[in-house]
Structure 1
Amino acid sequence: MDTRLLTSFLTVLRVGGITTAAAELGFVQSTVTTHIQTLERLVGTPLLDRHPAGVSPTRAGALLAEHAQRILDLEERMLTEVTTSAAEPTGPVRVCAPESVCAYRLAPLLPEVRTRFPDVSLSLFPADTRTALTALADRRADLALVLEPSVHPPGVDLVDLGVQRLSLVAAATTALPRDRPVTPVELSAADVLLLEKGCSYSDELAALIASAGHTATPPRFGGIETLKRCVAAGLGVTLLPTVAVADELADGRLVELRPPADLARQHLWLATPSSRWRSPAVRAVHATLRETVPPVR
């Protein structure tokens, strides 16, 4: 069987449509349609249910998807192992992580990875927890780092890299108290600024002020740098990983407030698919992350 058929099928399932899948794969739509029709002829039954919103797998399609993932994994392992350099870390490794982790925890490690493993090409992709875990399941990422108090995704091996310290920050001119924890009611009365939905600590802060009676929808921002600048300009208060605001706290552009005790402790988790074979390059980067990304307390 041409495994390109399986790749097209899994991509259609992931994106929910043939047209979108064709664009992502770099094919014309008719090519992906032919791939799906060829698979359906091979198995003798429909694999997709078509509906106005897109497509979804039939029962046979869902079963085929499980086997297809394993077949593609085996193909990747075979191609890697038969090369002469299979025992050495070489090739691409794709890592998904929150923006703050990519920028402030992983980017500084890139020179070390390059020095230790010159034939490994490490790519970083900012992603919230759901997006990162979906990328793992869809084979678009090899490793993921997620920031959550706890996480229990099926079919994923997790390593707890420890607590990620968060800082509740505001402009130096803030009237909020600094000598005691800020209460949820005080926060709800302030202008709270958040990152986009899917960011665990921003979503938790939103839920906290909502529970204190805040009815307005707090503004959401697409990036940490923009959010920090808005807070420094006096537009509100936000919650961010301490490592992301260390420079601003040091030079006085931001001040740290004491957060409510209700906020959960965020852990950084290193995630890998349980059943997928890990290439030497993936194993090397996984080990490096475990060694060099210590907990921030």
Structure 2
Amino acid sequence: MNTSSTPSFAAKFDIYWRLMRFHRPIGIYLLLWPTLWGLWFAAGGLPPLKVLVVFVLGTVLMRAAGCVINDFADRDFDPQVARTRDRPLAAGEIGSGEALRLFVVVALIAFGLTTSLHNVRVLALALPAVAIAAAYPFMKRFISIPQAVLGLAFSWGIPMAYAAVRERLPIGEIAALMLANIAWVIAYDTYYAMADRADDLKAGVKSSAILFGRADRVIVLALQWIALLLMAGVGVAHALGWAYYAGLALAALTTLHQWRITAAREPAACMRAFLHNHYYGLAIFVGTALSMPPVSL
């Protein structure tokens, strides 16, 4: 890294902004939608405003922290991948020690935000949330489907949401929502990994796209629909109306669009399919919100 001159405040801010991936908010959306599913199901409608604000801000901060630790873990791999070689750590715009300090600061701010709820159970769940988020990027070296760990990290807001608004936790319902989200995360992150498959094979990085091989698209579609079936089951348990199932139907339509555009497995198309999952999560949330009374517990 060039240390001959000290970057200006604006230049440093830009580096941090890009390192936390705020210029590409898709990850915020993909983490936010299942968290909001959990909040709405837990509260039976609109959750208390303070809880909603804390969880939305916490989602933004934890996604930022996750991006930083991901790039720290992949600092030796990213320069070998065309799509990631311009990231700040890979390009040498920031040192690994500074990036690690940024991760700690952002994670601590997120944890501090959680303390404002004065809820011991939420705080107890927040600690493993940080641990799982920090562990995920390193799983690419050890397990063939690191997306499963990402799914767990992106689902952890669900039990936290229930702990924030419920005295007693419905374990079966929480498990169903988490399993649905984990299936969905593995699905959409497989599309993401399909875009990088050639480079990942050269770099020796493991991914679900490599593991699934030519069955990748079939498995992705199956996982997306398994997630929808699980969500439908939760909807039945809550006796939700037509709007909820209309949301699930719209989400199902997005999966068919993704299936169509990825037929040739062209990397740019796989990336578009990944990005399109924003609408899958949004459709489910809108259906959920419209099916529940707009009142706080």
Task: Please report the TM-score for the alignment, with normalisation by the length of structure 1.
Answer: 0.24
Higher helix share: 2
Higher strand share: 1
Task: Please report the TM-score for the alignment, with normalisation by the length of structure 2.
Answer: 0.24
